[in-house]
A and B are shown apart, each in its own frame.
Chain A
Amino acid sequence: MHISEGVLSPPVLLVGAAVTVVGTAIGLKKLDYDRIMTVSLLTATFFVASLIHVPIGPGSVHLILGGLLGIVLGWACFPAILVALFLQALFFQFGGIVVLGANTTVMALPALLCFYIFRPWCMQGGKKRQIAAFGAGFFAILLSSLLMALAISVSDQGFLQVARLVVVAHIPVMIIEGIITMFTVSFLAKVQPEFLQIGSR
C-alpha cells in the first residue's frame, strides 16, 4: 500500500502533507499521558504488520491493520501511523520520505473514519461489537485502496484502471484484516476492556 517516490505529483504530495500535519497535530493534542503506551504499542504493531505478506490474489500485498489502529486510537492513529511509516521508509525502503505525508493520509484518514462509523457500535458489545470490528478492518483497507487510487489517478493514470488494480489486489487483505480486527477487539474487550475504552474520549 506504500506509494513509491516519484509517482505522485507535487500538488498531491502537498495535500497529503497538509492533511498529515493537521491530523498529527490534533492527534498529539488529544493524546494524554495514560495513552502513550497504548499508542506506541499499536505503532509497533503497525510497523511490523507490513512485513506480513499475504500470498493470495493477483497482487503483492501485506497486512496494514489501519482499522485496528483507527478503532482503538481515534485521532491518535495519525501520529502512530506517521511514525511507523517514517521508520518503514528509513529501515525497509518502503514508500519514501517525500511521499510520507501522502502515505500517512492514505492509511490514517480511513482509519479515523472507521473510528467515527464503527466506534459507537463497538461500545455496545456482543455481536454488534464483532460486526463493528470486522467492518473497521474491512472498510479501512477498502477506503485506503480507493484513496490511494485517487491519489495516483490525479497524478498519472485513469482512476478506474488504478482502482481496479489496487482494490482487487487488496480484497484478500480486507477479509483477513476484518477477521484479525474482529478477534483482537473481542479478545481485548473480554480480557482488558479498559484498553479499548481508552480511545473513546
Chain B
Amino acid sequence: MKKKPLHLTIFVIMLFFSFVNSGFAHKVRIFAWENGDGTIMTESKFSGGRAAKNVTVTVIEASTGNELLSGKTDTKGMYQFPVPKTTSKEIEIVVNGGDGHKNSWHYTLEETPPLPVASQIPETKTSPQKEPGQTSMQAVTSTPKTQCDSEEFTRLINAALDRKLAPIHRVLAESTDHSPTLQDILGGIGYILGLAGIAAYFQSRKKNQEQKK
C-alpha cells in the first residue's frame, strides 16, 4: 500500500526535471514599442520564446472598442503599423493565434507623434555648418523662426531618442512576460498535496462517523 505511489512519484520527479531543458509554451504574448519614425513595432511570441508566425494583430481604440487597423505578423512574429490617428490616446493591441490563444497589450500614444526622421535629416546637417555669430544674429532678428526651429529641434530629439531607446523599450516590454518559476511549480504541487490531505481528512471523518453508528 505504501509502495504504490512510489513509481508515480518517480515519474512526477522525472517530468519535473525534464522541463528544465525545454521551453515553456502555452500562451501567446504581444509586446509593442515606438520605433521613433512614426510607426509602432509589435512582437508576438508564444511563451517559451517561439515566434508567433502569421497570426492576426488587431489595433483597437480602448475607449470605444473600434477596430483601427489589423494585419498579420511576419515569420519573426513582428508586425509594424503607423501610429494611428485617434482622438483618444489609449489603444489596445490584440493578438489572436486563431487556435484559442489570445492576448493584448495596452499602449498609450504620445502627445505629438514624431514626424518621419528622413525628412528632418538635412536640417540637422545644416545647423552645425552655420557660424555661431550667424545663429545669434538670426535669434535676434527673427524671433518667430527660432521658435519654429526649437519646436522642430524638440521633435527631432524626441524622434532620435525614440529610435535609440527602441531596443530598451523592447527589453522592458519583454521583461513583463513571466514564465513559470520553480516557486510556481513547487507551490502548485504543494496545493495539490494539501487538497489531497483535506479530501483524506473528510473521508476519514466520514468513515469514523459510520463506525460510531
**B-contacting residues of A (Cβ < 8 Å)?**
1-7, 31-33, 36-45, 47-53, 55, 59-62, 83-84, 87-88, 90-94, 148, 151-152, 157, 161-162, 165-166, 169, 184, 187-188, 191-192, 194-195
CB of A161 within 8 A of CB of B46, answer: no
One of B15, B98, B187, B203 near A162 (C-beta < 8 A): B98
Q: Is the CB of A92 within 8 A of B196?
A: no
Known A165-B99, A194-B4: A91·B184 in contact at CB below 8 Å: yes
B16 at the A/B interface (Cβ < 8 Å)?
Answer: yes
- Docked pose: A47 CA to B23 CA in angstroms: 16
Whether A195 contacts B192 by the Cβ 8 Å rule is no
Chain B, residues 4-38, CB within 8 Å of chain A (1/0): the string is 11011101100110110011111110000000000
A94→B29 CA distance, assembly (Å): 11
- Residues on the A chain within 8 Å of B25, using CB: 53, 60-62
**B35-53 near A? 1/0 per residue, CB < 8 Å:** 0000000000010101010
**In this assembly, does B213 line the interface, its C-beta being within 8 Å of a C-beta of chain A?**
no
Cα–Cα distance between A48 and B178 once the two chains are bound (Å): 17
Are A53 and B99 within 8 A (Cβ)? no
B187 — nearest CB in chain A belongs to which residue?
A91
On chain A, the residues within 8 Å of B199 by CB distance are 31, 36, 40
Q: What separation, in Å, do the CA atoms of A55 and B24 have in the docked complex? A: 10
Q: Separation in Å of the A35 CB from the closest CB of chain B?
A: 10
Contact B9 A41 (CB under 8 A): yes
Name the one of B15, B192, B204 contacting A87, with C-beta atoms under 8 angstroms: B192
Chain A residues near B103: list those with CB within 8 A. Answer: 4
Verify A33–B12 contact, CB threshold 8 A: no
A200 to B161: give the CA distance in the assembly, Å. 67
Cβ of A87 and Cβ of B191 under 8 Å apart?
yes
Which chain B positions have C-beta within 8 A of A151?
100
CB-CB nearest in chain A for B183: A91
Task: List the 7 shortest-distance A-B pairs measured between CB atoms, nearest first.
Answer: A40-B196, A60-B46, A3-B100, A91-B184, A60-B25, A4-B102, A87-B188
In the assembled complex, B157 has its CB within 8 A of some CB on chain A: no
Measured in the bound complex, the distance between the Cα atoms of B46 and A61 in whole Å is 10
Give the nearest-CB partner of B18 in chain A.
Answer: A52
State whether B196 touches A152 (Cβ < 8 A). no
B102 touches A6 (CB 8 A): yes
CA distance A83 to B195 in the complex (A): 9
Query: Any chain A CB within 8 A of the CB of B69?
Result: no
In the assembled complex, how far is the CB of residue A117 from the closest CB belonging to chain B, in whole angstroms? Answer: 23
Contact partners of A162 in chain B: CB under 8 A:
98-100
Contacts of A45 in B (CB 8 A): 8, 11-12, 15
Contacts known (A31-B199, A41-B12, A55-B23); A47 close to B178, Cβ less than 8 A? no
Structural contact, A48 and B3, CB atoms closer than 8 A: no
Interface hits, B87-132 → A, CB 8 Å: 96, 98-103
- Decide if A40 touches B193 in the complex (CB within 8 Å): yes
Whether the pair A52, B98 counts as a contact (CB closer than 8 A) is no
Q: Which residue of A lies closest to B20 (CB)?
A: A51
B12 touches A44 (CB 8 A): yes
Chain A residues with CB under 8 A of B203: 32-33, 36
Among B9, B178, B192, B193, the residue within 8 A (CB) of A84 is B192
Is B189 an interface residue, CB under 8 A from the partner? Answer: yes
Across the interface, do B99 and A188 meet the contact criterion of CB distance under 8 Å? no
With A38-B5, A45-B11, A50-B26 known as contacts, the answer to whether A33 contacts B189 (CB < 8 A) is no
Closest chain A residue to B189 by CB distance? A44
Cα A50 to Cα B9 with chains together (Å): 17
